[in-house]
Copies of this chain bind each other. A is one copy, B any other.
Amino acid sequence: MQNKVSLPVIKRLPKYYRYLSDMHKNGVVKVSSSELAKIMGTTASQVRQDFNCFGGFGQQGIGYHVDVLLREITNLLFSEKKLDTILIGTGRLGRAISGYLTAEAKGYQLIAAFDKNPEEIGRQLSGVDILDIADLESFCKEHHPEVAVLCIPRQSAQELAPSLVALGIKGYWNFSHYDLSVVYDGITVENVHLGDSLISLGYRVRNN
């Protein structure tokens, strides 16, 4: 059933997870689809449809048990096995993101960082070695990372993408402006455009 779940539903799951974690922490025992809908900014029908993608999680009319719902969604979203992850680009953004990844993010294990700058290579970043990007292939063939975090410019990402995909990397947390998912099939990409969100914000602040 899970491979039929649509991307918008998947994108809402972390939000359900956050809200249900808060409720559970605050001792809330039951919650109706309309209460959840209100918090989520959607409709009760949408909430029920979302949960039906995963088999339901509860009975309509009597509400959901917060602990059951939270456990089910936690099981969906997290696995005991962490995803082996490499970070590419150890500039200012890469350093920032590596810190976030190792300190705040569940489910990922940073195993190496890569850069092409000789001054960076050989240093440590968030507890891992910074390796030469020229050694990417041999590293991947030995360690089989599943996820790559791209903190490099658009052009570099475009040049590197064929190798990364060919080396079997399935997941991309992509801070570059090159969207791999447009060109490559069978991979999963989460694009984060920090710059775009700042540009939109500035426009809206000036024009509101």
A134 at the binding interface (Cβ < 8 Å): no
Whether the Cβ atoms of A201 and B173 lie closer than 8 Å is yes
* One of A13-21, A56-64, A116-124 at the interface: A13-21
Query: In whole Å, how far is A208's beta carbon from the nearest beta carbon of chain B?
Result: 6
Number of copies: 2
Does A195 belong to the interface (CB within 8 Å)? Answer: yes
Whether B201 and A197, one on each chain, are in contact in the complex, defined by CB atoms closer than 8 angstroms, is no
Separation of A97 and B192 alpha carbons in the complex (Å): 13
Cβ A188 vs Cβ B204 within 8 A: yes
Contact among B15, B177, B190, B202 for A83, CB-based, below 8 A: B202
The answer to whether B3 and A202 touch across the interface, beta carbons within 8 angstroms, is no
Task: Report if A100 contacts B (CB, 8 A).
Answer: yes
Chain B CB within 8 A of A138 CB: no
Q: Give the contacts of A189-205 with B (CB-CB under 8 A).
A: 190, 192-205
**Per-residue contact bits, chain A 1-36, to B (CB 8 Å; 1 contact, 0 not):** 011010000110111011000100000000000000
Report how far A182 CA is from B19 CA in the complex, Å.
14
Q: What's the minimum C-beta distance from A22 to chain B, rounded to whole angstroms? A: 8
Residue A108 at the B interface, CB < 8 A?
A: yes
Q: In the complex the two chains form, is B198's CB within 8 Å of A173's CB?
A: yes
Residues on B with C-beta less than 8 A from A83 are 202, 205-206
Interface: A55 (CB within 8 A): no
- Tell me if A193 and B96 are in contact (CB < 8 A): no
* Residues of A bordering B, CB below 8 Å: 2-3, 5, 10-11, 13-15, 17-18, 22, 41, 76-79, 83, 92-93, 95-97, 99-101, 103-108, 146-147, 154, 170-173, 177, 182, 186, 188, 190, 192-208
